Amino acid sequence: MIFNPRQRITAESPLEPFLEAYGAVPAILKAELRDVTQAEASAATRADAWSIAQIITHLLIANAYARQTFAGGSGPERGMHIMRPVPRQPLEALIETFRQERETVLAAMRNLRFEEWDAEWPYRTGKRTGRQLIAQFVRHDDTHLRQVRETLQSVRTMEV
């Protein structure tokens, strides 16, 4: 059975497919962007569009919210804007930082007791169960993985 990141999570849903999908994102980005130049990573196809580096920076900042929720972190850095992110590292380093940060959150998630997943957790937009949060984070990642692919295709089409 193929995991659908858009599927709804219930109290009976197994957590492992969601955790695997959440943990796989940095490796997917690394593999799909291995031949991308820094110029391609920094290019935006329209004035209102994000570059690939901005999308990954956004994912890194969103991961800080997950870290704050599940791993007791401090949340995003002061001055980091989640809706108009400014990349502060070259692409390869950005992906590696994201991988390391994601591993921290994933380890904290995997250390939760089963019943903690059904408890309510404070989140910036209100209370959610741990199950609701992991499903929300996986959907968010899936949206931005598609955005990265579309942006790369558009950038490479512009170069031709």
5 in a structural domain: no
> Which residues are 121's β-sheet partners?
128
Q: How many domains does the chain have?
A: 1
3 in a structural domain: no
Q: What is the pLDDT of residue 160?
A: 54
The CA distance from 17 to 47, in Å, is 37
> Which residues are 120's β-sheet partners?
129
Q: What is the pLDDT of residue 74?
A: 54
Placement of tokens 């990954």 in the chain: 56
2 in a structural domain: no
Cβ-based neighbours of 139, under 8 Å, separated by 6 or more? 5, 6
Say if CB 134 and CB 109 are below 8 A apart. yes
10 in a structural domain: no
Q: What is the pLDDT of residue 82?
A: 54
The CA distance from 147 to 7, in Å, is 19
Say if CB 98 and CB 23 are below 8 A apart. no
Q: For position 101, which CATH number holds? A: 1.20.120.450
Domain range enclosing 49: 16-155
65 in a structural domain: yes
145 in a structural domain: yes
pLDDT tens across the length of the chain (160 residues):
578 888 888 888 899 999 999 999 999 999 999 999 999 999 988 878 899 999 999 999 888 888 888 877 555 554 445 555 677 889 999 999 999 999 999 999 999 998 889 988 877 778 889 999 999 999 999 999 999 999 999 999 987 5
Q: What is the pLDDT of residue 128?
A: 87
6 in a structural domain: no
160 in a structural domain: no
Per the confidence metrics, is the pTM higher than 0.85? yes
Check residue 54 and report its DSSP letter. H
